[in-house]
Structure formats: structure tokens, C-alpha cells
Amino acid sequence: MRSVTIPWEGGTVTGRLATAADPGTPGVLLAHGAGTNQDHPMVVAIRDGLARGGFSTLTFNYPYTEAGQERPDAPKRLLACHSAAAGWFRTEVDPNMVMAGRSMGGRMASMLAAEGEPCSGLILFSYPLHPAGRPEKLRKDHLPDIQVPVLSIVGTRDALATKDPYDRWVRALPNFTTSEIADGDHSFRVRKASGRTNEEALAEVIDVAGDWLRTLP
């Protein structure tokens, strides 16, 4: 893993690139969620797990986390930084790029994909379809505009993607593939009664993502 500097219109942010030796596989640009940064244990585990599976993977900070702040930037700034990171990745790492993101990072990636940001596919880790307890406040209008293959990995107990709205607005989209993590919450944590550990559930997430990436051209 090496640290890199990514320029964007508002300055620079840092990224961390885990390079895989396996040629011919797509690279992955992985964005973090709202309450974390690129060094969050889950983001690191996904990045390093995908790299071990043969996919060069880059994480990066959004401007607010680069500055050590907790409150997310306005969507316009998030998207501008995210798009710059995508351009950097295509130029410096691999033009065959899949955008991926955890929660808010996945939402930003999906918005860019819907706007036509060049990518070979999209992976959504716990897409935040609606705020917790407010299934009527849907973040779904742009999703039908995404033209590339999409993998959506969602926990069956995710309070931000409850079953009825998810089935209606996400699962039914023709280019979307859904993979459910049994008993997983928004962070893919599972209860003891599930018979497995959080680490095992996260390993399943990484395996599912890697298997799907291998199906892409």
C-alpha cells in the first residue's frame, strides 16, 4: 500500500493505493462513508481484501475528512473531489475502473455514474436508500439513469435500506445485481444468534464483490 496525493479543484486530498499483481482485472476506486474516513477498519479491510483478490484498489479522503472534520461537505464538493479521484485513477492506475463506495460514498459514486462518469461498473456497499426510520424519504431518482452493471450488497437488517422500498426501487432495476448479507446491519454487523462473526460477514462481502468483479469484461 502506498500513499498518493490527488489534486482536485479545491486543493488536494490523500489516497491509499493497494496495488494487485494480477493483470487484466478492473481496478476499484473505493469511497468511504459519512461517519468515517479512508482509514476506517471496514474500508481498509475491503480495500486490502480486494487487492489480495487481484484488484488494484484506491481509497481516498473527501475534503472534510482530509481536514479532520466530521460534518460532510456539500454534495457539490463531494462529487467534485470524487470525480477528480476517478480521473486520477483512470490516468495513473487503470482506465478499466469500477467505482465503489460504502454508504454515502456509494451514493456519490452512483450519482457520478448516473451523470456519465466513465467506469466499467459500480459496487454499492450498503447503499443508503433512505434515512433510518424514514423510508418515505428516498434517494432513488438517479438510479435508473445508471447504464453500467451495478452490484448492490445489502444487509437484511439494514435500517437505511428496508425491504419494501429496496425491493421496489433498487432490486427491480434491470442492470442491478443484489447480494444480501444475512442478518447484516448497515455496517454488515451480525448478531451472535446468526451463528457467525462480524469478521466472517465482512469476508463474505469481500468475496461477493471479488466474484462479481471477475464477471465484468
Residues 115-165: tens digit of each pLDDT: 999 999 999 999 999 999 999 999 999 999 999 999 999 999 999 999 999
For residues 90 and 82, the answer to whether their CB atoms sit within 8 Å is no
Average pLDDT of span 76-91: 98
Distance of CA 155 to the CA centre of its chain: 14
Count of domains for the chain: 1
Instruction: Specify the CATH number for the domain of residue 92.
Output: 3.40.50.1820
Query: How many whole angstroms separate alpha carbon 207 and alpha carbon 123?
Result: 13
Q: Which domain holds residue 167?
A: 2-213
Please determine, for residue 106, whether its predicted confidence score (pLDDT) is greater than 80. yes
- What are the residues whose beta carbons fall under 8 Å from the beta carbon of 8, sequence distance 6 or more? 63, 80, 81, 83, 84, 85
Please write the tens of the pLDDT for every residue from 28-55.
999 999 989 999 999 999 999 999 999 9
User: Considering the entire predicted model, what is its pTM?
Assistant: 0.96
Query: How many whole angstroms separate alpha carbon 2 and alpha carbon 14?
Result: 10
Q: Are β-strands 27-31 and 11-18 bridged in parallel, bridged antiparallel, or unpaired?
A: unpaired
